[in-house]
Amino acid sequence: MSGRRKRDLIIKGFSKLLKEDKLRIVAELMDNQVETIELLKSFWYADTEKQKIFDEFSENTITNFYIPYGVAPNVMVNGHTYLVPMVIEESSVVAAASSAARFWSERGGFRAKVIDTVKIGQVHFLWEGEKEKLERVFDELKQQMRENARSITANMEKRGGGILDFELIDMRDKLENYYQIKVSFETKDSMGANFINSCLEESAKTLKEFVRTHPAFHGKERELTIIMAILSNYTPDCLVRVWVECPFKDLEGIDPSLTGEQFARKFATAVKIAEIDTFRATTHNKGIFNGIDAVAIATGNDFRAIEAAGHTYASRTGRYQSLSHVEIKNGKFKYWIELPLAVGTVGGLTALHPLAKHSLEMLGKPSAKELMMITAAMGMANNFAAVRSLVTKGIQHGHMKMHLMNILNHFKATDDEKKKATAYFSDKKVSFASVGEFIKNLRHPTK
């Protein structure tokens, strides 16, 4: 049977198969089945108990996919210096973050504050009743929803968190008979997704029963359709701000052709372009999330939720724009970033993943608020390093130097060849073609 034909087969009951059988089915799609199995098994942990933990993180697992785990030293936030773990495969990100962190550590470091930590969930429902009637009994409904969720919220309340408030949102101008109950939460050091969703589902049941049985409602008013109850990853009230500032003289020497003030103004213009141009803003903010995502992954947090919230926040004015900003005033350069950043330091993968647990210990077992500030600082560090390169020597200068090792690995360069290539390209432009030509000449020198 051809490879194309094998790929067209519908596999029933795949999730119920043993791991070895799943592996065999995957291998059958490949030309070299034995080599495929050997490759996938080579990434299993020898410790079967540890491997079992990883197998149970997700479904239909057949192996592990490794991503480099690096650290950025000299990250000073509010006077505390951290060695920050970063999990990312993109070359130059850790180097850029480390360079920027060192630069600002010599100028007072990053300053940061958490503006708020409120998270949001929604109960979406359709109802044909009169809004005013529901508004009149809404305080009673809120109390009932709190009471019915008490078994879920009790432990969170002991830690100072829980349900903060309920709000009735009329969305009938967008969709016929559509309402929401917007619920705000405080989840303390937990990211809180499961907690929030459990509370919302209980609140949805309470809402439906309340409307069905309350004497204020009659006839069709007693019929309410729950569409869904789910948290929102947009957390505009779970905000962190990080900033740096220094006089122009502290920016001298970044580029020999620019004074400190000239660099500051050129940098500010580059950031302004990201504020007004969506195409530039997208790449600009991607650089911010290079740093943020790397820390989120290293600490077992949901980088996809973090990115979704950040990009939505960047669009809150109706136009996508930069998450970082610059102010030039009274001979000083001030640069800051503000964004929603919901992270946790307890629960979920933070305790189950051995390296996530290690990462948090490396950071001194921070609270969720402290981790918010550290993570945002790494996003800012990457952004500063990227814009600094763009307005001076260009982004490719540093990026391609870091990418050199990837190219050399593609050509299966030996350690000696890597050493010679690194020396040769120390003052030359790096490209795939030029490195390939260099390796070719090393291996087959012309007479």
119, 142, 284, 399: the catalytic one is: 399
- Are 112 and 124 part of one and the same domain? no
> Edge to edge, what strands does the sheet with 178-186 contain?
162-170, 178-186, 119-127, 224-232
Backbone angles phi, psi at 330, to 5 degrees: 50, 40
Model confidence at 377, in pLDDT bands (50, 70, 90)? very high
Question: Known catalytic residue: 286?
Answer: yes
The confidence score (pLDDT) of residue 107 equals 97
The confidence score (pLDDT) of residue 88 equals 97
Average pLDDT over residues 95-114: 97
For 332-367, write each residue's pLDDT tens digit.
999 999 999 999 999 888 888 999 999 999 999 999
The alpha-helical segments, DSSP class H, found in 411-443 are 415-424, 432-443
C-alpha dihedral (138, 143, 149, 154), degrees to nearest 10: 140
**List of residues 6+ apart from 358 with CB closer than 8 A:** 85
Reply yes or no on whether the pLDDT at 309 is more than 90. Answer: yes
The confidence score (pLDDT) of residue 433 equals 86
- Are 276 and 357 part of one and the same domain? yes
Number of domains in the chain: 4
Reply yes or no on whether the pLDDT at 3 is more than 70. Answer: no
With respect to residue 63, please indicate whether it lies within any of the assigned structural domains. Answer: no
With respect to residue 64, please indicate whether it lies within any of the assigned structural domains. Answer: no
Average pLDDT, the chain: 93
- Are 287 and 384 part of one and the same domain? yes
186, 202, 302, 370: the catalytic one is: 302
The confidence score (pLDDT) of residue 447 equals 58
Reply yes or no on whether the pLDDT at 5 is more than 60. Answer: no
CATH number at residue 253: 3.90.770.10
In contact, 244 and 104? CB cutoff 8 Å: yes
For 180-239, write each residue's pLDDT tens digit.
999 999 999 999 999 999 999 999 999 999 999 999 999 999 999 999 999 999 999 999
19, 22, 28, 90: the catalytic one is: 90
C-alpha 137, offset from chain centre: 40
- Are 343 and 223 part of one and the same domain? no
The confidence score (pLDDT) of residue 427 equals 72
- Are 191 and 161 part of one and the same domain? yes
Reply yes or no on whether the pLDDT at 320 is more than 70. Answer: yes
CATH number at residue 157: 3.30.70.420
Q: Domain range for residue 406?
A: 399-443
The confidence score (pLDDT) of residue 430 equals 80
Question: Known catalytic residue: 302?
Answer: yes
With respect to residue 62, please indicate whether it lies within any of the assigned structural domains. Answer: no
Please, what is the Cα angle at 429 between 424 and 433, to 5 degrees? 90
**CA–CA gap between residue 50 and residue 54 (Å, rounded):** 7
Model confidence at 420, in pLDDT bands (50, 70, 90)? confident
**CA–CA gap between residue 54 and residue 82 (Å, rounded):** 28
Question: Known catalytic residue: 90?
Answer: yes
- Are 385 and 263 part of one and the same domain? yes
With respect to residue 256, please indicate whether it lies within any of the assigned structural domains. Answer: yes
With respect to residue 27, please indicate whether it lies within any of the assigned structural domains. Answer: yes
- Are 384 and 298 part of one and the same domain? yes
**CA–CA gap between residue 265 and residue 259 (Å, rounded):** 10
80, 113, 266, 286: the catalytic one is: 286
**What is the CB neighbour count within 10 angstroms for residue 298?**
28
pTM for the model = 0.88
Q: What Cα–Cα distance (Å) separates residue 241 from each residue in 246, 281, 324, 326, 375?
A: 17, 19, 10, 13, 11
With respect to residue 130, please indicate whether it lies within any of the assigned structural domains. Answer: yes
With respect to residue 61, please indicate whether it lies within any of the assigned structural domains. Answer: no
**List of residues 6+ apart from 238 with CB closer than 8 A:** 116, 117, 118, 119, 309, 340, 341, 342
Average pLDDT over residues 275-287: 98
Q: Angle at which helices 138-148 and 150-158 pack, to 10 degrees?
A: 80
Give the total residue count for the chain.
Answer: 447
- Are 99 and 243 part of one and the same domain? yes
**CA–CA gap between residue 120 and residue 199 (Å, rounded):** 11
Q: Of 92, 97, 79, which Cα lies nearest the Cα of 376? A: 97
The confidence score (pLDDT) of residue 440 equals 86
Please state which of the ranges 86-95, 103-112, 270-279 shows the lowest mean pLDDT. Answer: 86-95
Task: Specify the 3-state DSSP secondary structure of 227.
Answer: strand
The confidence score (pLDDT) of residue 32 equals 92
Q: Of 374, 436, 442, which Cα lies nearest the Cα of 407? A: 436
**CA–CA gap between residue 285 and residue 324 (Å, rounded):** 8
With respect to residue 42, please indicate whether it lies within any of the assigned structural domains. Answer: yes
- Are 98 and 244 part of one and the same domain? yes
